Structure formats: C-alpha cells, structure tokens
Structure 1
Amino acid sequence: MQRRTFFKASIALSVGLIAWRQGVLVPASQQSQKISEFSFLEKRDVVLITALLPALLPFKKWPLEDTALMCQDLDRTISFMTKSTKSEIRQLFDLFHLKPFLWWHGARSLDQISAVDMSKLITSMTSSRLSDFKMAAAALNEIICGVYYANPQTDRELSYAPPLELV
C-alpha cells in the first residue's frame, strides 16, 4: 500500500511541476502589487532578496541601505533584459513564493527565514535530484552575485581594483 501511495504522490508532484513550468498555474506576479520605485521587482521579491543576500553573500553585513541599493541595482539590471528573459526571472522569483516549495525545503515563510535556513534551502536545491531545482539555484546565484560584483564599489571586497578601462 505504501508503494502505491508513494507512486501517486510522485505523479501528483510531477504533474504540478510540469504545470508550473508550462505556466498553467497563476503566476504570483498577478496576485501581488508592484512597487512604484521598481520596474520589475515586487514587494515579495524585496523580502526574498533580503533573505537571500546574507545566504549568498555571507562575507558582508547587509543593513537596510545596502539591501535597498542591491534591489535597485538588480531591478535596473533586469530592466535591460529581453521580455523572455524577464519572464524566466519572474518564474524563478515566483518559485520562492510558492508555499509548497518552501514547505518542501523546510521553510515556513520568507519573512521569518534566517540566513542559515536560506543557505540550507539553496544547498538542498543545488543537491536536488530535480534538474529544475538545480538550475534555479544556479541561476539565482549567478543573478545575485553578478549584480553585486558588477558594481564598481565592490572592488574592496574582491581585494583588487577593476581594470583601468572600466574606470
């Protein structure tokens, strides 16, 4: 009996993931309101980024001002991307707002998640058997770290100055 239950649950999960990937489910972007200062980011995305920054870039303290600057840089970077790329990034952010996804990885809500728990969530995505989770973790890491290190102000954390052509 347990084998049959496990089989049914795995089929339901597979159908849910396929439906989410194909955009059948209502995207979170249609359920929430946009922040007027940002062209792409929403209120919930700012909460997500606030939780992600200490986990992905743990060598730096993240006060509110630095987090706000990072959100502005991220929004500006995404605004230069094509419509299809923006759509994929929106799906990536919406993934973190799905309650079943958070529960699957042991988190209750992004408002109350610690840096250690977020780091565990990213690690569990990276080591997941599902390739979509692996790719989502890699993409999120590339986006956040890429935007952070694209700022010339971060050369101090790298311990070397940027090339003179960039200055």
Structure 2
Amino acid sequence: MLASMASMSMLFGLGQAQAAVTGKVDVSLNVAQGCEVTGGGVDGNLNDFGILDFGDVSTTWTNVLSAELAGVSGGTLQVECSKDLEAFQVSVDGGLRGDRSLVSADSGDTVSYEVFSDAARTVPYIIGSSQPIALDTSGAPTEVPLYGAIAANGSAIASGLYTDTLLVKLEF
C-alpha cells in the first residue's frame, strides 16, 4: 500500500506545480466632475450655508451697514472643485418676501438690504439670475462671495430683531 501511494504521488506530482495560468485584473477609479462645499451645515432637510449678520444698531444710522457671509462653523463657505471646472454659478433669491427686506416680527417694520458678489459691493446678485464665480486655478478652495449692505437710515424704526431668509443656489 505504501508503494502504491508513493507511485501515485509521483504520478500526480504532489508538492510540485505542473501548470501556471496568468491573467489580468482591471483596476479603475472614476472621478466625477463636481465640487464639494465646506463651511456649511444642515438644518433639517436644507443645507445651512451660514449667516449674513449686520450686527446691532440704534433705531437710526448714518453709515451704510455691511455684512459678509460667515459659514456655520464660523469660517467661510468654500467650494473646491475638480480641476477641469473653471467656474461655478451662484444665484440668490429675494428672500421670504421676494424683495430682500428684513422684517420685525414685533412691529412689522421692514428694512431693505442688497447682496453682492464682491467685497466692494458693486456687483449685485440680481434676483432670478446667476453669476459665474471663477475657481482658484491652483485647485485650492474658493470662497463663496456673499456680501450685504443696508443703506443709511435717518428715520427711526421700531426696536427689535429684523430677519429674513435667503435661498442661495450653487451650480457646478
């Protein structure tokens, strides 16, 4: 019996490879064209891009009030895109009343404001249209530009908190 096992192991070559098969395996990665938005958060089922806070003032003011978008985390809202994109589009609606006005829940008084895509506040976001924002050519994150201004006000208004909510759309 021992002799028959020895002859079978020689016959089948146990312990030695008798054949080899080589084949290929395809490896891939598909990077989708698009962008990532950072500095915001989520509020219910809606993205929360931050706040445009004009601060505290008396019932009249003689200077233009200004504000800059602050992201939810306290920093800026930024977009980082695939390197084959050159710009993204930003549109800003008219707010809850459609006219970009802050309203006091207590008195019903309103204060009009404007929003701009540049810090000098010379290029307004027009309600119903979008503006292209050039991406950083190095691939670094690009800040979403959103600046606000309220004209000087010489007529006293009621005290209280004045609010509005804007919807901002980023398109890639």
Identify the structure with the greater strand proportion.
Answer: 2
**TM-score w.r.t. structure 1 length?**
0.20
Q: Which has the higher contact order (CA 8 A, sep 6+)?
A: 2
Q: TM-score, normalised by structure 2?
A: 0.19
Larger radius of gyration: 2
Greater helix share, 1 or 2?
1
